[in-house]
Amino acid sequence: MGSEILINITQGEKRVALLEGGQVVEFYVERKRDASLVGNIYKGKVVKILPGMQSAFVDIGLEKAAFLYVADIQAEMDEYAPLFEDEEKENSMELLSRKGRSEMTIEEIIQEGQEILVQVSKDPIGSKGARVTSYVTLPGRHLVLMPNAEHIGISRRISDEEERNRLKAMVEKIKPGGYGLIIRTASEDSQEEDIKKDLEFLILLWNNIQEKKDRVQARGLLYSDLDLVFRSVRDFMSHDVSRLIIDHHEEYDRIIEFVKTYFPKLLGKIELYEETEPIFDAFGIELDISRALGRRVWLRSGGYIVVDQTEAMTVIDVNTGKFVGKEGLEDTILRTNLEAVKEIAYQIRLRNLGGIIVVDFIDMDKPENREKVFNAFTDAMKKDRAKNTIFHISELGLIQMTRKRVRESLGRTLCTLCPYCEGKGFVKSPETLCYEIMRTIKKLARHGSKKIVIAAHPIVAELLSDEEMLGIEDVESRYGVKVIISADNKIHQENYEVNSF
């Protein structure tokens, strides 16, 4: 069964699901007020340099300044020559030519107040502003254009060596000087005419950006990447995608015009969904999304995985749960781990987990079993379009990996911080709060208070008035104080008020 792309459009929101074998493997959502900025190109202004972090803040006209690392700055001599005074230029140019970019500090490359062309590489995440780079890339359907570079790369998802060589030879023949190119997965089986047309369009687009750069003031947008619907056509419609189905008439017409102009060979794969049942319900996508927001995911055998996400790292834990197996313990553990491998790889893609990921498999005694699990996991992650690096399984059964994070995870896109637990995932127990309150009233009673009024959440107040009443009475008789307990629904369970008179 080929892959499918389903697009659901409602007022203010666009959702895209990529299906493989009838199952959602990637999910994207874009809303009017927080559309993705990745790929946008700005003329920015350096507002602050941080030597200690070898980075800089760049004002590109957004609410928060963008973040630029030294490794994301080009150090072309011609580009930076005008930054230096005439009498210092000779020495400065010699410094630039003598030192590679990796050896240069950020203060040697850019200065505060300098105008700079940057492209957003990561959306703002949490409290952080967008991350930007001066290495501009312009993606087309078949190619990615890299101005001011000479490199030719090819997608790792094109596995046939003969096809890789054919495409590389074709691109080497048509590539103009001063540009680098990456051959995308969609180029597989393409003809030279298709790739050449794509290249011409991208060069024209880059020339237009360069011209606009000279006219626009700093903190200005020079180029905005395609919206989610058009990006889905451009980026996801590879040869193994059998169809794209969209449930909105106007957006369907837009796609047809877009495809007619740039990718006419895809016209037969675009379909309009006109059934009364919502498209995501009809294909079972809403259930998959709901499942992907849960902390615990059950496996068919009765085992389960637990996904815990922090700001910088995600930890995934594997448990046997209800699965007891039919043979020895080692066999039960191996079977659970191998089943978990597929689900973990699936959840990583669906939830768009990024940064550092640690997978805690159940401990296995036999080295050959650990090797089986590791190989199965690396194979399962090969379908992931996001760049990832997987480290070998440890003696403790841990696999550490990194996965490129460009946008927020699914959970942080669709959910907001719990106002009750404030992201901890738990609150203090009523018993803990009761003993905190008891310590507080004892302290007040020792200092001569004659009357103490406690206002607490009803659950805590009930516990104080019932199971902990002996403790309250002991304080009253020992210190000659009157304690009054009142329940207040408006008070957070972890909060309470103690007033003394």
- CATH code: domain of residue 31: 3.30.420.60
Looking at 414, 443, 461, the residue that finishes a domain is: 414
Residue 152 structure tokens: 């030719």
Instruction: State whether 126 and 217 are in the same domain.
Output: yes
Q: What does each of the 501 residues of the chain score in pLDDT, given as a tens digit? A: 679 999 999 988 999 999 998 899 999 999 877 788 999 999 999 999 999 999 999 999 988 999 999 988 864 433 333 333 333 333 333 333 334 455 788 888 999 999 999 999 988 877 788 999 999 999 999 999 999 888 899 988 888 899 999 999 999 999 998 899 999 988 888 888 889 999 999 999 999 999 999 888 888 899 998 999 999 999 888 778 899 999 999 999 999 999 998 888 889 999 999 999 999 999 999 988 988 888 999 998 888 999 998 877 999 999 988 766 566 788 888 999 999 999 999 999 999 999 999 999 998 888 999 999 999 999 999 888 888 999 999 888 899 999 988 778 888 888 888 888 877 778 899 999 999 999 999 999 998 889 999 999 999 999 999 988 999 999 999 999 999 999 999 999 899 999 998
Nearest one of 422, 423, 419, 484 to 449, comparing CA atoms:
484
CB atoms within 10 A of CB 414: 14
Instruction: State whether 316 and 399 are in the same domain.
Output: yes
Output Rg (C-alpha) for the chain, integer angstroms.
Answer: 29
Instruction: State whether 265 and 365 are in the same domain.
Output: no
In a domain, 420, yes or no: no
Q: Tell me which residue range forms the domain holding 478.
A: 430-500
Going through 247-387 in order, the beta strands assigned E by DSSP cover 270-272, 296-298, 304-309, 313-319, 355-360
CB atoms within 10 A of CB 297: 18
Looking at 358, 381, 414, the residue that finishes a domain is: 414
Instruction: State whether 275 and 298 are in the same domain.
Output: no
Beta bridge partners of 119: 41, 133
SS3 for 370-428 is HHHHHHHHHHHHHHCCCCEEECCCCCCCEEEEEECCCCCCHHHHHCCCCCCCCCCCCCC
Instruction: State whether 183 and 234 are in the same domain.
Output: no
Number of domains in the chain: 4
In a domain, 424, yes or no: no
Residue at token pair 């980026």: 235
In a domain, 419, yes or no: no
Instruction: State whether 55 and 154 are in the same domain.
Output: yes
Q: What CATH number did the domain enclosing 464 receive?
A: 3.40.1260.20
- Cα–Cα distance for residue pair 421/432, rounded to 1 Å: 15
In a domain, 422, yes or no: no
* Residue at 378: amino acid letter: T
Instruction: State whether 11 and 107 are in the same domain.
Output: no
* Residue at 118: amino acid letter: V
Instruction: State whether 244 and 317 are in the same domain.
Output: no
Beta bridge partners of 487: 456
Looking at 168, 191, 223, the residue that finishes a domain is: 223
CB atoms within 10 A of CB 245: 20
In a domain, 215, yes or no: yes
Q: How open is the CA angle 235-378-350, to the nearest 5 degrees?
A: 45
DSSP secondary structure, 447-476, as one string = TT-SEEEEEE-HHHHHHHHTTTHHHHHHHH
In a domain, 183, yes or no: yes
Instruction: State whether 96 and 177 are in the same domain.
Output: yes
Q: What CATH number did the domain enclosing 109 receive?
A: 2.40.50.140
Instruction: State whether 397 and 434 are in the same domain.
Output: no
Instruction: State whether 324 and 466 are in the same domain.
Output: no
In a domain, 95, yes or no: yes
Instruction: State whether 10 and 88 are in the same domain.
Output: no
